[in-house]
A and B are shown apart, each in its own frame.
Chain A
Amino acid sequence: MWQQLRNRFGLPLTMAIVSLLGIWLIAMVLLPQWQMVDYSFHPSLLPAERGGVKDVWSLTNYATFFNNDIHLAIFFKTIWSSVLVTGLTLIVSYPLAYYLAKVATPGQAALCLLLLIIPFWINEILRTFAWYIIFAFRGPLNELLFALGLIDRPIRFLSGDLGVLVGMVYAYILFMVFPLYNAIESLDANQIRAARDLGAGWGRTHRRIVIPHAKPGIATGCIMTFMLAAGSYAVPALLGSPGSRWFTQIIYNWFFEGGDWNQGAAYAFLLLVLCIVFVTVIMRVFKVGLGDIAK
């Protein structure tokens, strides 16, 4: 690796690149993470008490979490809802990605991708706020359903989980569509034709040929969507109700409302562990390695 870089860029440039990468990794990733972990194992102290007798390693911050039924419930609800968001996004994205990769003409695919990407030029909070307006009690969606005669009184979309689910599927759809698209696109069209020719209907063709081929893409999309959903703050804050709080909101509260960074750090570390566990499980389930996902 070092040798390849050196042959390509020469010694000075190679050293510059490698040291920049090193500084970035250490200063921006490793040190802050280490600081977080360190915080989480210490009690919250006044500045004057730091380094004193009270400043000892302890598991109190983690004990707080496991003794708080509400926080535990929200933690598991966040996992479950994120899994649901991931599943829904997969269901919505798969036909779209298949259409883009195998059905659409290049022109149609380009237009469709443009339509998908343009909303993402707008900030996530604004996009989420747009859904807030659409879902409002006297908003356009209620008006539309009312006009179509499907409902006789407005629905409170924003009081349950529905708003959060829809908002998240919309916010993270591209992170699912693109890995899926890349995976399906690389499938030889003759494979699909051969399956059809041998008598397979569309369902079986997808189940036996397309989906097995797209597995690494499905795994990548699921991992990204799950992590973004589990770590999301804006969507549940805007589209959620007090009954549909996200674990990130609890972390936010510890840091900025409670002022207890140590406690917040413990909660944040738990979320990180959760995500790592999820990634590992998905990789096991789909039987893919890190290399497949990086593709």
Chain B
Amino acid sequence: MPEPILKLEEVSKTYRTKGSMFGGRAAGLVKALQCVSLEVLKGEIFGLVGESGSGKTTAGRLIVKLESPESGRVLLNGEVLSTLRGRRLKAYRRRVQMIFQDPYQSLNPQLSIYESVVEPITIHRLAAGRERMERVLSMIQTVGLSPPESFVNRYPHQLSGGQRQRVAIARAMVLEPDFVVADEPTSMLDASYSAKIFNIILEMRKRFGITILFITHSLAAARYLCDRIAVIYRGHLMEVGTAAEVIHHPLHPYTRALIDALPKFGLAEQIPRYNTLLEEERAGVEAVGCPFFMRCRKAHRTQCGREVPGLEPVGPGRFVACFFPGNGGGAGGKGS
């Protein structure tokens, strides 16, 4: 069994929002992550799957130390992130890299491709002169921009979105990191181009043995890339397990609702539905319990509405945060 390389221990993060000037919203708190614990094993691709606003990007930003947790700890190889200073922090910034969602914004438009990819090497003083040049060229080749010589002098605006994302990957990988956070790296690209990026990520893992946290809204992409996945909803982890288990035998009503909602290539009639999603949110109740209570068809009024279910083991390597995992649930199909 491989060891965990990354650990989140009861991590919470809250953002303060400004109120809107015209009375729509009052100033308030957005709980992006609530007491999230998870382990990513060395060498695996771990998928964090959730909708927008679920907290998945916040988790990624905490790991690369673009944000700090409000409570709880993030550990990489046993080192607590919040204690890193000076040289150890700089080393951390080399070992952990992030690939951002939007390659149109993550590359500096004024830097040529060579300048973009060489910059991290220069900052971390990893190589100089000829060796530096060779590293850059070989990395550009590795991400499939071939021949690399024909790309190094171009600028981002001369590349397609998919090519830019490959440059962003090269820029992250050129530091030979241990851990990479890939935040929806294909959501701005055409579906047909995504496969290319997926395969580059798989190739990177194979060649460099890196560990990857793959953040996505797409269960299909997670199935293709990931060994294990965690489903996140409103800052809570709902279900963790191997990608195959979670997708083919989902236990949490929310995971089931996600799977029901996926396009079925016009075969919807032939595929049985879980039907765990309420058409409309529950009315007249306050949601203090399970984060999915308001939309869950299977919820038990008293228990699910009042208590937050913890992420409990239900099998080897399998965790679900639900009082009634996998079965029909408490109150059954009644709406409210």
Decide whether A and B assemble into one complex. no
Give the B-binding residues of A (Cβ under 8 A): none
